[in-house]
Amino acid sequence: AKGWHIIAHGRDAGRLAAAEADIRATATGPVDMVQGDLSLLSDTERLAGDIATLTDAIHVLINNAGGTRAERIITPEGNEATFAGNHLGHFLLTKRLLPQLKAAAAASSQGTVRVLSTSSSGHSSSPVIDWDDLQQTRDWVSGKSYCLAKLCNILFTRELQRRLEADGIIAIAMQPGVVLSNFASHCTPEMKAYMLSLDGDTPDITAQSMVW
């Protein structure tokens, strides 16, 4: 409703179309939808290219995709899917879109260009990082893999802020609390039951904090 050009991302064409209809109901600026899977780095690379054709300046990048899986899945590219979808895809997308972020920062007031990454309080339960098996492929546990990825979101944000501060870009990580979304759809039964036992907020309420 503020008139911004919105570029939104999703994996499923049908859900993308439904989301686009919802956004267009209140949007007063341009709306574009791009499709891809962040757990696949080749898809992420293409996704960044698609976004770059739509705009030469990005004022806010929200890295919000996330989820857990009930079983260990190795992508066709050889990455563990939870780690790739929650961290590696965001890392690569941000890196590829740095020219558009820096272009926006050069033409904007200091501190108004931002990269926001959604983490989780689960980061505090992450095990010590094993640099010989960063993606925990040898000793994979669903919740442990997710917590590691969320810790990496925060470490990435801290280093991104250090590197981009001179460009006037602010990098922020936030944890949204419990969100009553389809987040737990692919969780283990134990995690799904745990998530359902918690009180939380609807996605539209949580999104208000992210927009702020």
CB 96 within 8 A of CB 40: no
194 is catalytic: no
The active-site residue, picked from 83, 91, 140, 146, is 146
CB 171 within 8 A of CB 207: no
Beta bridge partners of 151: none
- Name every residue whose Cβ is closer than 8 Å to that of residue 119 and which is 6 or more positions away in sequence: 150, 151, 153, 154, 157, 173, 174, 175
CB 49 within 8 A of CB 25: no
The two tokens of residue 10 are 């999703």
Residues 47, 49: Cα–Cα separation, whole Å? 5
Catalytic residue numbers read 146
